[in-house]
Chains A and B, each alone.
Chain A
Amino acid sequence: MADKQDFLKMVRTSLGVSERRDIARDDSTGYFLTKDEVSQAADDIRADAAQRRSELVDGFVHRATEAGWKIHRVANYEDAAEEVTAVVREHGAKAVMRSDHDILSEVPLESALKAEGIELEVAMREPSDDADEDLERRLALRETSFNSEVGITGVDFAIAETGTVAMKPGIGSSRLVSLTPEVHIGVMTPESIIPSLDELFALTRDQHLSGEHKGMINLITGPSRTADIEANLVIGVHGPREVHLVIVG
């Protein structure tokens, strides 16, 4: 059986290093930034983003469109609900699921979809202290996700450099709600937009160091795609075929 110490010993021997060591700060990597440095950087990012809001929105919309997102700009949450409903209607979808992201509590989706005769599912289970029961409920939720035709979520960050949205699973936000349906609709505000991948990972690092963010993060840029058959680009493989972003404000 492989032993960690033996393995590390093999690595050290290979490097010509005799024993375990701590290493000196090297700024070719971000690893050595202190908690304070990271925290300060995060504050700067938020301040800078607030100042450059409209520029960032333009940049994001440009890149996101390029990447295959269909962008809807709306003035308020009611209009957002209408846009979402229109997409659902367009697809003739009946099985619709949403996450329980904060922003979605502002959007009157339930009523809008009910008017179309659609019962909106929420990507949330009633947790149970009994492990088996909890697993059963999670499996049931998984099944519902696989059967959904449209998934509606919030977003945690939006990245202007690449037209990407970043989403973290949490309570009421499953991994699958943005993955299994054929159509994914994200609802967001301009305040989520940051300039680039650098800022994203600086912010997530800040969250990580302050104990906030322990979970995974998904970066999503456009619909799913492949070019595995004679290098022909085909849109819509295992993930959604069509993706929308409704930007409120």
Chain B
Amino acid sequence: MKVRTDEFKARSTETTQNPRRQASLKMVYDGLHKSRIAAAEDTDNWDDLRDRARAIKWHTINNLDYYLDQLDQNVRANGGKVYFANDDAEARDYVLGVAKANNVKTVIKSKSMVSEEIGLNEAFEEAGINPVETDLGEYIIQLAKEPPYHLIAPAIHKTREEISDLIQEVAGGPRQEDPEDLTDTARALLRGEFRKAEMGVSGVNFAVAETGSIAIVTNEGNGRMVTSAPRVHVAIVGMEKVIPSQQDLSTMLRVLIRSATGQRISSYVTVVNGPRKAPEEDGPDEFHLVIVNNGRENLLKDEQLREAMLCLRCGACLNACPVYRKAGGHAYGWVYPGPIGAIVTPVMTGKKAGRDLPFASTLCGACKDACPVKIELPQLLLRLRSDLSEGKTDPKEKSSPLAERASIKLWRFGVQSPMRFSLAGKLSSLMMAPLSQQGWVRWLPPPLSGWTKSREFPRIAGKPFRARFKKKVQR
């Protein structure tokens, strides 16, 4: 997917001015966010589960080479094929190759964020193959020709009127607005595709190393369709999604699903173990697992940023984030929005272009509370800020404006001495005097004018606290 991280400011401003988007984003708090909290409260040992999930993931990431090797061996022992893709082009080319080798005309897809990363749908279309998204939310944004707005609810920003328009365009007939009717129409439309598609492409929630299986979590049933009906199944997975044993699935599923939707479990968890085995009545004859790097090594090779590889892509941090709930998903400029997006996107696609993302946070910490595997998201954001401001790990990454660095130096000079600090305060107070009324200032020059657009600013006190304080003993 095209990277548009440098447009964050403009696009987030646009979203704050769009009442329809704001109304949809409010539903994120009332719906998904509150559901997760209710599910956590309803679960006896929730914190303990999070710790266990975190431990499983850390162990895996710290031994990722071992587990990827096991995964590969076991998928092949099952009769499946494995392809290790270093970047988006390699992944795309491989999947296209499989489609062409099998004369595929229609591909049905269940949700795969990695397939968005690599621009798979565009590649299919260019090759004259028809990719059909089958997750209702993904189907809607495919019709709208937009990227996903959220990790698990990609069309969360669309109103029912907008969805009605999209479906009517494709289905014809009278305009429907009831969600049930719209869903029925979509079901009927997609049914036809399920029947005829020669290939299914799915994502993966967990790839199990010990068995060479993949687990897919859905509610709609499209995950099952895509992996059962066509003759060929291609599963695309980020290299961090492997877990050691199927016995780890119970813990991982419990924390993932509750954090994503607040459900105890989704309608379907499909554990695919390679292609069909000879006596089985149905199932794909071919199974391919495409394991993708695409910049993840930038996270992996950094001891601190490596923690971001624990992410389950549940969306809980998005739901909890007051900035996401104002800026909306598209502003983040790539596949992954919200707090986790603000970390992985710059690291995977370029810190300089994405430099606004780690700063677009108040560090309120709601994301950390929400994360099922307790990723220290605020800490990672701060780390990226330091990379961008100081070039801490790599001097080439330093890209803070000169004016900002100069003002930090000035500030530092000022606060290293109480006398200078007081003097600076006095001077500022004097300078603000002509601008202020009743102790408040209505206009400040740039760069502080951003503040006074919507707020007054208190005038620095003529007599600061330190001048007023007299020890009781001395009075």
Contacts and interface: CB of A to CB of B under 8 A. Distances in A.
A28 to B, nearest CB: 4
A57 to B, nearest CB: 18
B126 interface: no
A141 B159 contact: no
Given A10-B293, A31-B244, A127-B279, A218 B270 contact: yes
Interface stretch (B5-13, B222-230, B338-346, B396-404): B222-230
Contact of B64 (A4, A11, A171, A231): A11
Contacts of B83: 2
A190 B51 CA distance: 34
Contacts of B140: 228-229
Contacts of B78: 214
B180 interface: yes
Contacts of B55: 28-29
Contacts of B267: 220-225, 239
Interface stretch (A12-20, A47-55, A81-89, A106-114): A12-20
A123 B281 contact: yes
Interface string B181-219: 011101100110011000000000000011101000001
A249 interface: no
B129 interface: no
B467 to A, nearest CB: 55
Most B CB contacts (10 A, CB to CB) among A30, A141, A223 go to A30
B269 interface: yes
A-side interface size class: 35 or more
Q: Which residue among A20, A63, A231, A240 has the maximum number of chain B CB atoms within 10 Å of its CB?
A: A231
A92 interface: no
Interface stretch (A72-80, A150-158, A194-202): A194-202
Interface in A168-193: 169-176, 179
A201 B246 contact: yes
B272 A216 contact: yes
B265 A221 contact: yes
B179 A230 contact: yes
A43 to B, nearest CB: 16
A216 B283 contact: yes
Given A23-B66, A238-B221, A214 B277 contact: yes
Interface stretch (B247-255, B322-330, B425-433, B448-456): B247-255
Interface in B394-437: none
B282 A138 contact: yes
Contacts of B363: none
Given A215-B277, A237-B136, A237-B220, A197 B253 contact: yes
Contact of B221 (A198, A204, A224): A224
A226 B183 contact: yes
A164 B224 CA distance: 16
Interface in A111-148: 123-125, 127, 135, 138, 141-143, 145-146
B65 A179 contact: no
Interface in B135-191: 135-137, 140, 153-156, 158-160, 163, 179-180, 182-184, 186-187, 190-191
Contacts of A31: 209-210, 244-245, 247-248
A198 B239 CA distance: 25
Interface centre among B32, B140, B267, B283 (most CB of A within 10 A): B267
Contacts of B254: 197
B136 A169 contact: no
A220 B153 contact: no
Nearest to B223: A238
A216 B59 contact: no
Contacts of A231: 27, 31-32, 153, 156
A15 B62 contact: yes
Given A26-B59, A215-B273, A169 B160 contact: no
Contacts of A239: 220-221, 224-225, 267-268
A10 B268 contact: no
A220 B195 CA distance: 21
A201 B249 contact: yes
A12 B247 contact: no
A170 B269 contact: no
Contacts of A161: 264
Given A7-B68, A29-B245, A205-B245, A229 B183 contact: yes
Contacts of A163: 264
Nearest to A218: B270
Contact of A238 (B134, B247, B276): B134
B220 A179 contact: no
A146 B195 contact: yes
Nearest to B23: A230
Interface of A: 1-4, 6-8, 10-15, 17, 20-23, 26, 28-31, 33, 63, 67, 123-125, 127, 135, 138, 141-143, 145-146, 161-164, 169-176, 179, 196-198, 200-202, 204-205, 208, 214-232, 234, 236-240
The 3 closest A-B pairs by CB, nearest first: A239-B221, A30-B247, A31-B244
18 contacts: A2-B90, A4-B72, A7-B293, A13-B301, A23-B63, A29-B247, A29-B248, A142-B282, A145-B282, A171-B279, A171-B280, A175-B280, A197-B265, A216-B273, A227-B261, A230-B159, A238-B220, A239-B220
Given A6-B86, A217-B271, 19 more contacts: A11-B239, A23-B63, A28-B52, A29-B55, A29-B244, A30-B244, A67-B265, A123-B281, A135-B231, A135-B285, A142-B195, A146-B195, A174-B282, A175-B282, A217-B273, A227-B219, A228-B135, A228-B154, A229-B163
Interface of B: 24, 27, 31-32, 52, 55-56, 58-60, 62-66, 68-69, 72, 78, 82-86, 90, 134-137, 140, 153-156, 158-160, 163, 179-180, 182-184, 186-187, 190-191, 194-195, 209-211, 213, 219-222, 224-225, 228-229, 231, 239, 243-250, 253-254, 261, 264-273, 276-277, 279-283, 285, 291, 293, 297, 300-301
